[in-house]
Every structure is written in structure tokens, then in C-alpha cells.
Amino acid sequence: VQLVESGGGLVQPGGSLRLSCAASGFTLDYFGIGWFRQAPGKEREGVSCISRSSRDTYYADSVKGRFTISTDNAKNTVYLQMNSLKPEDTAVYYCAARSAYGLTLNDRFYNNWGQGTQVTVSS
């Protein structure tokens, strides 16, 4: 069971990035997926999640209206489209999987984690 994030990088304020979370060893369709981020000196925070089966979505207030989570079952991949990026979005972004139903941004309820991808928003 492995999750691999990609798509991070350096972007100017107001720019966009799309993060990918590719799964191997299991089918993402049977798992809920969360995106989390951790900035230097700060605790990890939940950004967005998509539920197992129903594919309901949820966003933290800090990213609502700017980020969009989506899935591609054929590619066994979950995406996080990030628009109108701000310097405060700078962090290492992680995806994680959970087998339970429902929506949560509590990282204690996620079992499998990727290695993270760095996003830096700076001019």
C-alpha cells in the first residue's frame, strides 16, 4: 500500500498548482482520501477530503473556494487543484487514506500516508 504525491513547486501569489496523489497496492475508490499540509513550525492541518463511495467533499475554511479535490478512478489518483494561491499556503502537502466511510480532517483517522510534496508560494 503506497501513496505518492507529486506536483508541488514554487509558484507566485495568485498562481495555481495541481497536486496528485497516486495509489498503488490498493484501489482508491474503496478509500476516503484527505489532503493535509504542514508549514515550518506549525502543526499539520487538514485541507480537504473526499469520502469513500459517495465521494462527498469537504474543505477547510482557509481554502474553500480556492481548492478543489477530485478523483480519477482510471488512474487511481486523487488531485488537489489549488488556485489563487497565497504565501500562507506554503507547506509540505500530504495525502492520506482511510477505509472508513464519512468525512473528516482529523489526521488520527487516516492510516496510510504519502511522503509529501513541497508547495512554496512566493514572489
- Tens-of-pLDDT digits for all 123 residues of the chain? 799 999 999 999 999 999 999 999 999 889 999 999 999 999 999 999 999 988 999 999 999 999 999 999 999 999 999 999 999 999 999 999 999 999 999 999 999 999 999 999 999
Residue 53 confidence (pLDDT): 87
State residue 54's pLDDT score.
86
Coil, helix or strand at residue 89: helix
Tell me what pLDDT residue 1 has: 79
Per-residue model confidence (pLDDT) at position 35 = 98
Phi-psi group of 30: left, alpha or beta (phi > 0 → left; psi -120 to 50 → alpha; rest → beta):
alpha
Secondary structure of residue 36 in the 3-state scheme: strand
Number of H helices, E strands in the chain: 0, 11
